[in-house]
């Protein structure tokens, strides 16, 4: 029975989970936990423990709300609405306790002279910090696109915005990220020179 779980669609897994099938819920978790964690990293920054805690919070809310879930919209849209709510709440609480200047990159490692020489870990950490510092509306679109791989139409449905707005926010986020990376590179060169 467990072997057939990966072959079932989300709707079938949810229906089985609603009837108390723990292996179906485990299959949902296995299928979606990495995308949820990637999405939450945009809100939590590179803090792996916080990402893990938030991911667990998401799935605890899914478990508690599963009985009320109705398949009138795709499960992933319902799931990522929960993800965004938890991510937003975490970002708000974090901003109250830690004042972060989104343009302050002293904590980002200034490794070798060219970004091409950076390790994957440094690049991932830097991008996570930069995305976490984006305005909320841009961060949400980037998080859903990069974290879950959702198409712009799906992102628009989850956020309740037009698809063009989702695309525009992504475009503006990428533009802002490029500016901030260039700014960081200029600061690094100035500091080295």
pLDDT digits (tens, 9 = 90+) for 163-185: 999 999 999 999 988 887 777 55
pLDDT at 103 over 60: no
What digits encode the pLDDT tens for the residues 115-143?
A: 555 566 666 777 777 888 888 899 999 98
> Which pLDDT belongs to residue 121?
67
Comparing C-alpha atoms, which of 37, 46, 39 is closest to residue 150? 39
Give the contacts of 144 (CB within 8 A, at least 6 positions apart). Answer: 39, 80, 84, 150, 154, 155, 158, 159
Q: Residue 105: pLDDT band by 50, 70, 90 thresholds?
A: very low
| pLDDT score at 188 | 54
> What is the structure's pLDDT at 91?
84
Count CB atoms within 10 A of the CB of residue 70. 7
The structure tokens 């990220």 sit at 177
CA-nearest of 138, 130, 137, 128 to 102 is 130
Is a pLDDT exceeding 90 seen at residue 187? no
Rounded Cα–Cα distance for residues 119 and 124 (Å): 9
Rounded to whole angstroms, how far apart are CA atoms 93 and 105?
21
Residue 1: predicted pLDDT? 47
Domain boundaries, the chain: 2-192
Q: Which residues fall within 8 angstroms of residue 16, CB to CB, at 6 or more apart?
A: 8, 24
- For 12-70, the pLDDT digits (tens) are 999 999 999 999 999 999 999 999 999 998 888 778 899 999 999 999 999 999 988 98
Per-residue model confidence (pLDDT) at position 73: 85
**For residue 193, what pLDDT is reported?**
54
pLDDT at 106: 45
Length of the chain: 193
Q: What does the block give as tokens for 162?
A: 């037009």
φ/ψ (deg, to 5) at 26: -60, -40
Dist CA 146 CA 59 (whole Å) = 20
Angle between helices 163-192 and 152-159 (to 10 degrees): 100
CATH class of 2-192: mainly alpha
Q: Residue holding tokens 């929960």?
A: 82
- State the pTM of this model: 0.74
- Predicted local distance difference test score (pLDDT) of residue 97: 45
């Amino acid at each position: 029975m467990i072997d057939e779980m990966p072959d079932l669609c989300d709707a079938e897994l949810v229906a089985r989970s609603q009837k108390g099938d723990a292996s179906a819920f485990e299959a949902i978790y296995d299928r979606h936990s990495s995308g949820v964690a990637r999405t939450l990293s945009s809100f939590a920054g590179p803090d792996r423990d916080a990402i893990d805690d938030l991911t667990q919070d998401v799935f605890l809310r899914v478990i508690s709300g599963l009985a009320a879930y109705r398949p009138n919209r795709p499960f992933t849209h319902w799931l990522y609405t929960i993800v965004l709510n938890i991510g937003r709440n975490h970002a708000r609480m974090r901003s109250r306790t830690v004042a972060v200047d989104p343009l302050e990159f002293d904590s980002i490692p200034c490794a070798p002279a060219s970004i091409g020489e950076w390790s994957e870990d440094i690049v991932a950490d830097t991008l996570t910090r930069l995305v976490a510092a984006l305005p909320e509306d841009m961060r949400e679109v980037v998080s859903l696109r990069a974290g879950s791989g959702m198409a712009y139409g799906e992102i628009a449905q989850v956020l309740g915005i037009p698809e063009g707005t989702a695309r525009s926010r992504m475009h503006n986020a990428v533009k802002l990220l490029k500016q901030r990376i260039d700014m960081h590179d200029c600061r690094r060169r100035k500091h080295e020179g």
